[in-house]
Chains A and B, each alone.
Chain A
Amino acid sequence: MADIRSALGSVYKAGPLGTPRDFPGVTLQEQSPRNLIQLSGWPDSFGAICESIAARLGIRVPVDCLTVTTHDDVSILRVGPTRLWFVCGASSARVRAFTETLGAGDAVTTEIGHSRTVLRITGSEARTVLNRGLPIDLDDRAFPENVFAQSVIHHIPVLVHRLPSSDGPAFDVYVSREYAVSFWEWLVEAAAPLGGRILESA
């Protein structure tokens, strides 16, 4: 398969961000392209599909929308009642092999890794910068680790996943490739007053 290339290109420049402060408020980093496979099923048979995923891939499918389960380097995001995202590392071949056993009557799978830019936002002000555009409560009680939300920032559709982290709040934001540059410009502008840095792409 063709390599996935960054949608940000020359717009992305690592370095200090905004006002120098005693501590970096926000750290931004573009993530390496993700193997992302979307699986959509039908209400009547979706339970059976979830069972075969557990049996064949050894990953329990999240029961609730907006939650994530992870096993090895594969995470499953339940993005809808009958829709999943597989976010895969090197195990993507295993997931693909499984999805190829499914007929169109069972589920439809679509590779969407090429269509998303993933940006990691960390730091003590990570919530502040997100909430400058995101109408979602990011408080610990409402938005704990391994929960995600699909919403809009600056009229741009996003999926925001709160990552497990022992080092303060951390979020991966999935943005459609066609809006990546526009979103990046918004993000840098929103983060600059909080101070921070942009790391080299992962």
Chain B
Amino acid sequence: MLRITCPYCGERDYVEFGYGGDAENTMPELSDTDIGRWADYVFFRNDPKGEHAEFWHHQHGCRQWLRVVRNTVTHEVISVRPASETDAPTQGKQVEVA
């Protein structure tokens, strides 16, 4: 069972989320002409056993993109934050109703 605590919606079941791929893969500068760096970017992924940063989309909740650090062995979710910190205005944080 995988649950992700969305910064806006709280703890939710994974069925509400869509996986958005590796968040550690950074695109080279467009002016970069090094074929090796582009090949790395386009074709190669790390496959870590342990913590891994990845994008998840809360597609059936608040529709926000999140950057989740997850343990690929245990499915423990270590951290969740908005994929772009600019998506996190001072208002609109998680509701606290308890």
Chain A residues close to B by CB (< 8 Å): 43-44, 46-47, 50, 63-67, 78-83, 135, 141-144, 147, 149-152, 155, 157
Tell me the bound Cα distance from A23 to B97 in angstroms: 31
Inter-chain contact B92/A81, CB cutoff 8 Å: yes
A65 contact set on B, CB distance < 8 A: 8-9, 62, 92-95
A141 to B98, CA, bound (A): 5
Contacts of A135 in B (CB 8 A): 12-13, 15-16
B89 beta carbon closer than 8 Å to chain A? yes
Q: Can you list 21 A-B pairs, Cβ within 8 angstroms, ordered by A?
A: A46-B89, A46-B91, A46-B92, A64-B94, A64-B96, A66-B8, A66-B95, A78-B92, A79-B62, A80-B8, A80-B92, A81-B82, A81-B88, A81-B89, A82-B89, A135-B13, A135-B15, A149-B61, A151-B12, A151-B16, A152-B15
Which A residues are in CB contact (< 8 Å) with B91? 46-47, 50, 63-64, 81
Asked whether A63 lies within 8 Å of B15 as measured between CB atoms, the reply is no
Question: Number of B residues whose C-beta is below 8 Å from A?
Answer: 26
Contacts of A157 in B (CB 8 A): 60
B17-51 interface (Cβ within 8 A of A): none
Give the docked Cα–Cα distance between A90 and B5 (Å): 38
In contact, B12 and A80 (Cβ under 8 angstroms): no
**When each residue 49-65 of chain B gets 1 if its CB lies under 8 Å from chain A and 0 otherwise, what string results?**
00000000000111110
- Measured between beta carbons, the chain B residues less than 8 angstroms from A151 are 12, 16, 60-61
| CA distance in complex: A149, B9 (Å) | 8
| Shortest Cβ distance from residue B4 to the other chain A in the assembled complex, whole angstroms | 12
Q: Give the residue name and chain of the A residue nearest to B91 (CB).
A: A63
Contacts of B16 in A (CB 8 A): 135, 151-152
CB-contacts of B79-95 with A (<8 A): 82, 86-95
Cα(A50)–Cα(B90), bound, Å: 12
Cβ–Cβ < 8 Å partners of B88 in chain A:
43, 81
Q: Is the CB of A80 within 8 A of B62?
A: yes
Q: Are A81 and B8 in contact (CB under 8 A)?
A: yes
Q: Is there contact, CB below 8 Å, between A64 and B92?
A: yes
